[in-house]
Chain A
Amino acid sequence: MLRFLVQRLALAIPTLVIASMIIFTLQQLLPGDTATALSGEERDPEVIAFIRQKYHLDQPLPVRYALWAGGVLQGDLGESIRLQKPVIDLVIEKLPVTLELACLAMLVALVIGVPMGILSAVKRGTAADTIANGIALWGLSVPNFWLGILMILLFSVQLGWLPASGYVSPFESLSENLRSMAMPAFVLGNAIAAVMMRHTRAAMLGVLGSDYVRTAWAKGVSPLRLILRHALPNAAIPIITLGALEFGQLLSGAVLTEQVFSVPGFGKLMVDAVFNRDYATVQGVVICTATTYVLLNLAADLLAAFVNPKLRRA
């Protein structure tokens, strides 16, 4: 297990290093003088000179990268020129909001996707299967920002049940927090629910066809017990690992969902930074996203190997 862990880490580290190089090089795409472009709206020569010095723009690219990467490793993601704050502070401030949203969305996805997947696998080829597949296709095809707008139209504008925007911290009022997160979490979880449903269906179909399930069936185990106690635990392994991989999708989707519902999270931070031409913040958010994603992949791999010893030799 230790060897496997080391092997996986050895793969994850170069991936992150190269990803950071790509993210750093994005700066080079900026038209014109980098220092002027990085200063955004600011045209003060002093600011531009400060940036030139701060980002070592008079040095060659590899040297600049090394200096930047060294800072990143020590938690220095640069300075938000617009907000006059270290990017790392902004990230730490916004990350909990997005993590809450992502966890609630994952909960929505599991609660909808897994039972639907089990149902459609058990009732394969029936109307229930067709309907479940139809719902999954809807979930995969509907753009989540449009679904958000439709939900605001129905639940906020027409019925007035839920707030259309605004965020309340759970430490202030948990019930208000959940009310403000209900629609964003559902919208974000919707697409993942579809993916979870498909994975669950495929995994359950595989398990239901196996010999031990047939034996249990022949022994006279009740159908409900057969599904929940015998089949589901084995089908759960791919569902868990694939679920962890869907987290990248959650982070992407959060950008749009947060924009629609004005949730002050990670995604909103990125979009605002894009429009404020606050490039250090954009880079900081992207590198944090990539790191989170790689670590989650690693965790998913380890989890899979922990549950299924055969994978450890891979």
Chain B
Amino acid sequence: MTKAAIAPAGVALPAAEPVPRAEPGPIREFWTRLKARRSAMLGLVIVVALILMAVFADWIAPYDPIATDWGAIRTAPSWAHPFGTDEVGHDVLARIVFGARASLGAGLTSVALAVALGLPFGLIAGYAGGVVDMVIMRLTDALLAIPFLILAIALAAFLGPSLTNAMVAIGLSATSTFVRLTRAQVQAVAAEEFVEAARAVGNPPWRIAIHHIVPNIVPAILVQATLTIAAAIIAEASLSFLGLGQQPPEPSWGSMLNVAKNFLEQAPWMAIWPGASIFLAVLAFNLLGDGLRDALDPRQRT
């Protein structure tokens, strides 16, 4: 019960005194629950560390990632080159540090694209229903019929190999998942009484969609987006590994592995670190995504 309710009628409460809140806000509550999950926090810490590494690569990397040193070709890890050097004398550590830009950039950009396309179409399909819904869903089903990576490879093949095209290809391939998710969420939320009430007082559909439906489906989208970033990072690495993503000499963990597989006997260190970096990044987003899902799952709320 708030103070306003117990104050006698006609007595004004001092304005300076804040009204105490009965319970913490949803965001704070969510944060408390996320913090309680050690694996999710580990994922978050790794994600933040990788983002910092990508942003401050110029300061962190010990060498220029595309500078060739013909005097140090395929040298084993040493004090001068902690992760060794590759077949043209690039410092592997420097390329790992800069490679985070391609991987995280591709992961975040492609998922942002997928959400930007998937959310509106999912909203329209879920809220409008009828023929519009049918057309959007048939298209989505058709896109889902082509396995994610196969579609991304085909798109990258026709668009031409480059990191940007790889991001577009991955983003478009992931869009259908978000259309489906948004539509299912919208249909669930649209049946709720508060949406019914908003409609009854005469709100136009776009207003209901943006003010009443979207805020309620954000958690589900957030969880899916985090897990999709993990998939997108693997997809970028896969495309670059196949030679369809980042083009040499620009560094990317996937393309580093592509080169490394030709020198497994002579220079195994070239293969260890890029793969370990992909694994770490994907693991971190998976841990964070799983943690977010558990923390946002209303069924666990007591």
Contact = CB atoms under 8 A, between A and B. Distances in A.
Contact of B264 (A152, A248, A290): A152
A19 B268 CA distance: 42
B234 to A, nearest CB: 5
B178 interface: no
B215 interface: no
Contacts of B287: 137
Contacts of A30: 158
A36 to B, nearest CB: 14
A256 B257 CA distance: 12
A137 B43 CA distance: 12
B257 A286 contact: no
A182 interface: no
B46 to A, nearest CB: 11
Nearest to B280: A141
B141 A15 contact: yes
Contacts of B260: 149
A22 interface: yes
A30 B158 CA distance: 6
21 contacts: A15-B138, A16-B145, A137-B286, A141-B230, A141-B283, A143-B238, A143-B278, A145-B241, A146-B274, A149-B275, A150-B271, A153-B264, A252-B149, A255-B242, A270-B153, A274-B242, A285-B150, A286-B154, A289-B147, A293-B145, A293-B147
A146 B275 contact: yes
Contacts of A137: 283, 286-287
A252 B278 contact: no
B34 interface: no
B282 A143 contact: yes
Interface of B: 138-139, 141-143, 145-151, 153-160, 230, 234, 237-238, 241-244, 257, 260-261, 264-265, 268, 271-272, 274-276, 278-279, 282-283, 286-287
Contacts of B139: 18
A294 to B, nearest CB: 5
Contacts of A259: 241-242
Contacts of A274: 153, 156-157, 242, 244
Interface string A270-291: 1100110001001101100110
Contacts of A31: 160
Contacts of A21: 142
A140 B286 contact: yes
Interface string A121-147: 000000000000000011011110110
B145 A15 contact: yes
A143 B275 contact: yes
A149 B261 contact: yes
A146 B141 contact: no
A153 B158 contact: no
